[in-house]
């Protein structure tokens, strides 16, 4: 535990930010997982809707600075590639 007051304040700020960021990060990961599961189950209509929500969640996480914008773009790209491949098959 820190002894210096500024370090204590920094710890409080970090804890608050971590809890706030975790919401966006977890939400994005959940939507991506759900989309992949629906693709695997061959429910492509539902998967397309879930992919849209996953893209929104990834964009929101990127805009908040939780993940890098290129990271969000890469994840969206891979997800859509996976979905389109399943639709074509």
Look at the domain 5-88 and name its fold: Methane Monooxygenase Hydroxylase; Chain G, domain 1 (1.20.58)
| Angle, vertex CA 36, rays to CA 70 and CA 58, nearest 5 | 30
25-48 mean pLDDT: 97
| Angle, vertex CA 75, rays to CA 44 and CA 20, nearest 5 | 110
- Determine the Cα–Cα distance for residues 30 and 23; give it in Å rounded to an integer: 11
Is residue 2 pLDDT above 90, yes or no? no
Report the Cα–Cα distance between both ends of the chain, in Å, rounded.
56
Q: Quick one: pLDDT band at residue 1, thresholds 50, 70, 90?
A: confident
- Residue entry with tokens 């997982």: 33
Is residue 43 pLDDT above 90, yes or no? yes
Instruction: Tell me, yes or no, if the pTM score tops 0.85.
Output: yes
The residue ranges of every structural domain in the chain are 5-88
Q: Quick one: pLDDT band at residue 30, thresholds 50, 70, 90?
A: very high
- Residue entry with tokens 């977890």: 26
16-38 mean pLDDT: 97
34-57 mean pLDDT: 97
Supply the pLDDT for residue 89.
87
46-61 mean pLDDT: 98
- Determine the Cα–Cα distance for residues 82 and 44; give it in Å rounded to an integer: 11
């Amino acid at each position: 535990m820190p002894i210096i007051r500024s370090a204590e304040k920094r710890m409080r700020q970090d804890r608050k930010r971590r809890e706030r960021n975790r919401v966006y990060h977890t939400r994005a990961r959940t939507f991506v997982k759900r989309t992949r599961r629906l693709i695997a189950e061959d429910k492509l209509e539902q998967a397309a809707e879930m992919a849209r929500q996953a893209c929104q969640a990834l964009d929101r996480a990127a805009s908040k600075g939780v993940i890098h914008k290129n990271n969000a773009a890469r994840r969206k790209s891979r997800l859509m590639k996976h979905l389109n491949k399943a639709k074509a098959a």
